[in-house]
Structure 1
Amino acid sequence: MATNAKSRKAARYAVPVAVAGVAAATVAMVPAFANAGSPDLPKVTAQQLIEKVAASDVEQFSGSAKISTDLGLPSFAGGLLGAAGGGGGGVAGGSADPQEKLARLASGSHTLRVAADGPDRQKVTFVDGKDEYSLIHNGADVWGYDSKANEVWHEKDAEAGKAAGKDHKKTADRLGASPQELAQEVLKAAGPTTDISVGDNAQVAGRDAYQLVLKPKQSGSTVGSVKIAVDAKNGVPLRVQLLAAEGGKPIVDAGFTKVDFARPAADTFAFTPPKGAKVTEGKAGGPEGGPGHGKDFKGLEAFPGLGAITGGMDGKGGKDGNGDMKVLGEGWGTIARIDTGAGRSLKELENDKNTPKEAKQFLNSLGDKVSGGFGEGRIFKTRLVNALITDDGKVYVGAVTKDALVQAATANK
């Protein structure tokens, strides 16, 4: 009974966590798209299409990719994302450290080249004009190379030899989520709170595709729908779009622009540090508490802040076990309530004469003041995840609207 209860509890927040994973970073191996019409394909049901994705065993591909993310963050957030991800020369791996690069996927548009040959060899290259950054997994070695700075980050995976070929998911986690894993996580999360249908057919990267459409049945979610374009022949997800309930351009738009399912040449994954390059050795498995290294290179934690919040969903309130965390609601309307145990509220900081003027201005710029049966607080908004921080030290966060957070805070004060 305890196991079943735990499974039900996990299912209550599975959809928002999966969607947050889509937004955050996930898509280091997922690319952007080109839609060129609606091909004539045999009719399929949503269940048949889900089964087609689940049955896909494609492990070799190469191609071009693009990902665009618009979370509606403030203009200064780009720098904060890089810093929170470990950006700049101050991190252990310098400019070649993967943390910063994947954190940057949380905003803006990025062009990628991708390749994979089974669970032991993958490569993704971020293309920025003449400058490139490559993240390469080849057997027991993981390399990061920044061509502009001529810096190299290297890590040996102590488990690679004994686990080779046996743990595809752990390996794929290195480079974020593959298109297959990204879609399958969303599909697994779909339940009674989700309407699943087959949308208009599409062409993505020159290949005919069905479109699986997931929509929240509940009101109050910031998510309008998730659209997954599935290769009509081999079941590989070719494109993922996360659309906002408020309309406008997609929150995340990621898909192949060019793809070839032939096995890439072996030398695609070969890497030798260039002459004169600065090489930094990482710890096997990654530094403690440092998401984005080795086997801990997971999409969700790569998005600054979300890992800390969702990491506490075991009820311990975060990795240090401080505070109290409770899951409210279910499905797309799930909200996490976290009692931070903070000694001082935002209101106290604002009213404290010792708080610098600049700090008060910064607090005022972060979010809108709100009030309700719970008291007073501030709403911190993005197009996907919103948070209400109350003056008594509680945080309500989820892929839900401002009104939904206020209602939850009032009902669960």
Structure 2
Amino acid sequence: MQHGRGGGWNGDQKGSARSVGIPADQATVRRSNLSLVLRHVSERGSRSRSLVAAETGLNKTTVTSLVGELVARGLIKEIGPQHAGAVGRPGLALALDGSGVGALGTEVNVDYVAAFATDVAGRVLIDRRVGFDATGGGPERSLDELARTIKEAVAELDLLGVTLAGITVAVPGLIDSATGIVEVAPNLGWYGVPVAKVLSKAGVAPNVPITVDNDANLAALAEFTAGVAAGTSDLVYLTGEVGVGGGVIAGGRLLGGADGFAGEVGHVMVDPSGERCGCGRIGCWETKVGLAALVRMVTPERAYGVGDGVVRDPEERLAEIELRQAAGDRRVDAAVIEVGRWLGRGAATLVNLFNPRVIVIGGYFARLAEQIIPVAQTELKRLGVAGSASRCTFVASDLGFGAASRGAAGMVVERVLSDPTSIDIRHVVTSRPGEER
């Protein structure tokens, strides 16, 4: 499944030439079987070779060979005898390893750059966000900052003895993921920016693939796999940033559209007499519910675009708003209610179109969820088709502003699971004589 924007969890199938020099058709079958075994252990947990063979339908000899290669690539490890009550020598249990293989997800957004790294087993190695004026800095300075962030992360992973399997960059805009070009990112002011090409010259090893994808789609995938609504086959994720992006999971798969640009919900026109949007149009949904809209209503003297030389992370802006609310500033309560109303109105359209079971709200929406959700839910029930609206609920993400970079790292892990041969063989594994493997 290949989409121009956020193609879902799919590998690019590179690296098959590393499959021990066997013919292409056999290499394809072996790569598929390596993926089957690795994914099976990843999803099912520790188990013996015999159990893996029984559950996957592969014969024991094949599983032993595949496991040997996965161990050699550092993706599976043996964790000791597994006693299952059977007569005879116990089998050695297998478990997902990948502790020496890292996945780096990064994000550049209007007012910050973020990095999130895990190993293949999902252990978090790096998690940081740095305030940065990407809109004011333009593409060149922003990519310089992103390259610096990547270099620092790679150096940290090196110190941990972790080899980087890939980098995925999240950007709020329309992305041609096949070329790594940001076609348009209105809130950043980017048009036709070759992000992958630029970053490939920033000191990253040439064998480390760099891909670019839409932030909302990556965040939706993170929510689908590890968020508050994990496993929900039909959900919509809303970013809650300066702009508003959407990722749609339908039937357990990310909805991409003909050109991969599905999910640009923030630029649906909801008020023909409203504010001008960063995309140049009037009355887009994000002009009503984006963080920029909330800041403009509460602190107009410090609104986005009003330069005072101070770079504010979104958390800092939210902290200021919360302090004003605690001090009794009535503008805050009115603004939050207004955002909730428009959030519910726009969500009603999404529910009528996609019939999700859950709408996960992220970013600043999640931070103010206790105040926003009741208002939005009431508006949704009022405007949505009765049946679908009554069964759809808003829930607040617990991934904060890091959902997109987390999803970006997850995309790299998924590529490893899909093609284990993309990871070099590190050492030769020999069987222990006489053991049930």
TM-score tier after normalising by the smaller chain length: under 0.3
Structure number with higher strand proportion: 1
Bigger Rg, which one: 2
